[in-house]
Amino acid sequence: MLGKIAMLVASVTMPLSAFAEGGQVLKRTGKWIVDADDGACHLYAEFGEGDGASIVRFSRYSLNPNFEFHLFGPQAKTESLERVELDFGLGAATSRTGMGGVAGTTPVLIMNNVRLDGFVPQKPMDSGPEITPADEARLTGVTIRRVRQADLQLEFGSLGKPFEQLRVCMGNLFTRWGYGPQVQMTLSRKVSPKGDPSKWVTDDDYPAEALRKRQMGVVDFRLDIDASGSVTDCAIFKRTDAAELLSKKVCEMLSRRARFNPALDATGAPVRSFFVSRFTWRIPFAGRK
């Protein structure tokens, strides 16, 4: 069920004024499991039983409180793009476009850049307020609301211990990336962009070959940032299938143009750290027909 996910990625706006009444409740039936790949840590568990069983997965790629939320199973069957709300009961609900796809033959609903408190940034790269372990511990579930389907309520139990395991996993991942986990976990300031990030990669940088092939794609990247705020390395840890040329261009442009305020350790001294983000390539307007 947790195999390769085929995604349809685009942009759409849809009102949320008419959620279906009624709903379904799924209780957690399996233990929370934590594992990792080269770019992220994942926390997942099974809900429900039999043909109606589903899997929920949280995936985290960096120090910030954002994560990817995946729902695998029959309840995830949806339009390729649909407006979705996730309400964890901590602050506002997260409302954004969910992406429908399949993992093998299993439907999957994918939500990117989700926060437990539904915080919406008012400016680019705004990281928002801290979400504490105490906040995580008092969360016990999520309600998923969609336009043309009944609400789905997933009952987790407390997320305190599972998210603590996720933090331990992230510390181990930092070690694999070559960073001291104790330093990274206790930063007094995280890496932040200097200047306007929207100018780092523009339509003018669109690779000619990708334009001829009308390729679009999503590229998730991690930049190594030294103590002076300069980019010293760029790693692509996830991309859509058509984005190989595009991912190379992202790293080329970011390595050349991106500048950052360096991270500060617990004492306030500049230290090496990293920056994780996503870039979406869309065909430049002049190239559309």
Residue 193 lies in a domain: yes
Question: pLDDT tens-digit profile of 33-56?
Answer: 999 988 899 999 999 999 889 999
206 and 166 within one domain: no
45 and 152 within one domain: yes
Residue 158's pLDDT band, with cuts at 50, 70 and 90, is very high
Other CB atoms within 10 A of residue 22 CB: 7
Residue 237 lies in a domain: yes
| CATH code (residue 278) | 3.30.2420.10
Instruction: From residue 111, give the alpha-carbon distance in Å to each of 27, 69, 101.
Output: 21, 5, 11
119 and 54 within one domain: yes
Residue finishing a domain among 141, 157, 176: 176
Residue finishing a domain among 121, 154, 176: 176
Residue 230's pLDDT is: 95
Residue finishing a domain among 122, 143, 176: 176
Overall domain count for the chain:
2
pLDDT at 2 over 80: no
193 and 255 within one domain: yes
User: Which residue range(s) make up the domain with 264?
Assistant: 186-287
Which amino acid would we find at residue 231? V
Percent of the chain past pLDDT 70, that is, above it, reads 82
Max avg pLDDT among 91-105, 207-221, 249-263: 249-263
Task: Characterize the bridge pairing of strands 273-281 and 217-225.
Answer: antiparallel
Q: Give 89 or 217, the one with higher predicted confidence.
A: 89
168 and 192 within one domain: no
